[in-house]
Amino acid sequence: MLDYASLSALAAVIREGSFDRAAARLGITPSAISQRVRGLEERLGTILVVRGQPCAPTDTGRALCTHVDKVELLEADLAPILSPQGLGASAIPTLKIAVNADSLATWFPAAAARFAEATGLLLDLTLDDEGHTADRLRAGEVLAAVTADPEPVQGCKTMLLGELRYAACASPAFMARYFSNGVSADTLATAPCLRFDRRDGLQARWAMAAYGIALTAPAHWVPSTQGFLDLALAGLGWGMQPVSMAHSHIQDGRLVELPPGQTIGVKLYWTATRLHAGALHALTDAVRRAARDGLIPA
């Protein structure tokens, strides 16, 4: 049988990043936290935590933390029945979710707020590219993910949410500087674009769809959705902006499409572990409702 006091200590260390903060979170001493984790490692015969700043789980430690997260969610369903006053602030379950930055900046906050208001539970959001968030689920780091990957994940259920639409945009000043003779394959080869990170292929995908070219333009690297928009408005480069964020700026003339109406879409899915926990069902419902309001039906 697993020692759940020790497992809770392990999970707190990983969640908080240090033994001291885990001790404060659980209301015990750092020495007690250390003894519980060390004892668990000795009983299992393996290292569970890589001590550092912050502390990080080994593969076995991560699997145990995921198990603890699931147990806490299931126990949350029983708490109102067994002890209506039994859950204190330190015992509030946390759902670990992977989500892409553009969803977090557009439609996902409505889902998170609706879920928190309905359940009183907490979220631990991990940001990653939409093409790789499902890998976080496969690795056992999260219980659910907003993803562009439709491939099945063992032990999980996947549902289509809708499409997040993007438009290629730049400021009027940038357009005048680089596209005064129009947008073409030649001008796109020299006009700096914006890219979120090394895995961001939206600009290249748009260039291929609109002009049939492999994009080789110089790029500014901007790993922030809001920064991506702000720097486009400032005239640093052109890039693919979520239409829901860029629309008002296009309407007011602060951004210009290249060319107008040539948008592309990214299909998004919700993949969640098949855990019969009320909190996970509530989150799935909140995500589906927010996606229905904030995404384009695919």
Task: Tell me the one-letter amino acid at 66.
Answer: T
Question: Is residue 87 over pLDDT 70?
Answer: no
Question: Following DSSP, what letter does each residue of 76-133 receive, concatenated?
Answer: HHHHHHH-TT---GGG--EEEEEE-HHHHHTTHHHHHHHHHHHH--EEEEEE--TTTH
Task: Write the pLDDT tens digit of every residue in 242-259.
Answer: 999 999 999 999 999 998
pTM of the model: 0.85
Q: What percent of the chain is predicted at pLDDT more than 70?
A: 96
HSE at residue 206, side-chain half, CA atoms within 13 A, is 29
d(CA 118, CA 124): 17
- The per-residue pLDDT of the chain, averaged, comes to 92
Q: Are 121 and 150 in contact (CB under 8 A)?
A: no
Give yes or no for residue 89 having a pLDDT over 60. no
Residue 183 three-state SS: coil
pLDDT digits (tens, 9 = 90+) for 215-235: 999 999 999 999 999 999 999
pLDDT tens digit string along 180-199?
Answer: 999 999 999 999 999 999 99
Q: Which of 143, 90, 140, 81 is nearest to 115 (CA)?
A: 143
Mean pLDDT of 103-121: 96
In this predicted structure, the answer to whether residue 85 has a pLDDT above a threshold of 90 is no
- 138 and 61 Cβ atoms separated by less than 8 Å: no
Provide the pLDDT for residue 90.
Answer: 46
Banded model confidence at residue 88, pLDDT cuts 50, 70, 90: very low
Pairing of strands 144-147, 256-257: unpaired
- Work out the average pLDDT over 263-270: 97
State how far the Cα of 13 lies from the Cα of 15, in Å rounded to an integer.
Answer: 6
Q: Which residue type does 76 have?
A: A
- Which tens digits make up the pLDDT trace of 164-179? 999 999 999 999 999 9
Judge whether residue 293 has pLDDT over 50.
Answer: yes
Task: Domains for the chain: give ranges and CATH numbers.
Answer: 1-81 (1.10.10.10), 164-265 (3.40.190.10)
Q: How many CB atoms lie within 10 A of CB 95?
A: 24
- Which of 161, 252, 255, 258 minimizes the C-alpha distance to 203? 258
